[in-house]
Structure formats: C-alpha cells, structure tokens
C-alpha cells in the first residue's frame, strides 16, 4: 500500500512539472523574490501592445487576475480560451484580467493575443523571465495566475483558470 501511495505522489509531481513552462524553457536569468497568499500585491507598470503604460493600481476596487504567460508556452495557450470565457462572464461583475507576457519578441506576443482572441489587458516589457515584474512575483514557471481582491490582497496563486473560476463562483453572483 505504501509503494502505491509513493508511486501516486511521484506521478502527481511529474504531472505538475509537466503542465507548466519553466524558466529553463526560455532564455532568461535566475532569481525570484515572490509573493504569497495574504500579502498585498505589489503595484507595477508595464506597456501594452500600443506602448500605453498600464498599472495594477489602474484597476482599484476590482478583483484582478494577473496572468503570467507567453506565446511559446503550450500550457498557457491552452488556458487562454478559459480565461477569455472567464473574462466574458465576470468583466461586468468587477473582475479584470491583466495578462503579463514573459515573451521577448513583440510579434510572437501580439500574434498570440490576436490568434487566441484575447480582449483583456495585455502588457509586457519583453524581458521574459528577467522582467522585474516577473521577478517580484516570483514567476519561474507559467502559466501562473494570481487572484487579487478589491483591497489588493492576494487570494489565490494557481496555474489553472478553472481554479480562479471556482473561487470567483463562490464569491461573486
């Protein structure tokens, strides 16, 4: 029985590792600071595809999903349709999504936004995992989604849009 439990734990661990894109999948440096559930989400400002500066603090009194992703990450791209649906369902109920791309190529990034029909805010400094924002949030694998409540407190950190939706379903009618 213990061997079966050990084998299951090993399989689950492999599945978790296999369902994210890591820093090593993209050229970038090391280092992370990180944030945790219960902490206030650090503010940041990055440009959108048109060069307009967008800040986390531009969305006061809303639930915000910060979605770290990249065009080259197949797991991120698989989550995008769920995020698009989630945004459509909750955008009129005080929920905003800020996509923070860890891409390094503007054409790959903007092409993926168009291909995936993403309508929510998209920002990037095109520094990949070396982005100060990615480092502040301790992003070393993607997708990584951080749910922030209207007071700015981090409620949930996950790699799945379904986890965010389950959380919101319990709190927003």
What phi, psi does 89 have (nearest 5°)?
-75, -35
- 22 pLDDT more than 70: no
Q: Which two tokens stand for residue 72?
A: 């080259």
| Beta pairing partners, 63 | 95
Q: What is the pLDDT of residues 124-134, one digit of tens each?
A: 999 999 999 99
pLDDT category at 34 given cuts 50, 70, 90 is low
| pTM recorded for the entire structure | 0.82
What percentage of residues in the chain have a pLDDT greater than 90?
78
List, in order of start, the domains of the chain with CATH numbers: 21-171 (3.40.30.10)
């Amino acid at each position: 029985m213990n061997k079966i439990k050990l084998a299951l734990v090993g399989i689950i661990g492999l599945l978790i590792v296999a369902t994210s894109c890591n820093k090593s999948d993209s050229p970038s440096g090391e280092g992370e600071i990180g944030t945790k559930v219960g902490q206030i989400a650090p503010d940041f400002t990055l440009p959108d595809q048109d060069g307009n500066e967008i800040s986390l603090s531009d969305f006061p009194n809303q639930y915000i999903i910060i979605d770290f992703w990249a065009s080259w990450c197949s797991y991120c791209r698989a989550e995008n349709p769920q995020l698009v649906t989630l945004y459509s369902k909750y955008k009129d109920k005080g929920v905003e999504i800020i996509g923070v791309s860890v891409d390094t190529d503007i054409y790959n990034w903007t092409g993926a936004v168009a291909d995936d029909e993403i309508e929510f805010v998209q920002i990037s400094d095109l520094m990949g995992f070396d982005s100060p924002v990615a480092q502040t949030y301790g992003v070393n694998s993607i997708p990584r989604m951080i749910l922030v409540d209207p007071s700015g407190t981090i409620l949930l950190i996950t790699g799945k849009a379904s986890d965010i939706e389950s959380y919101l379903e319990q709190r927003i009618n």
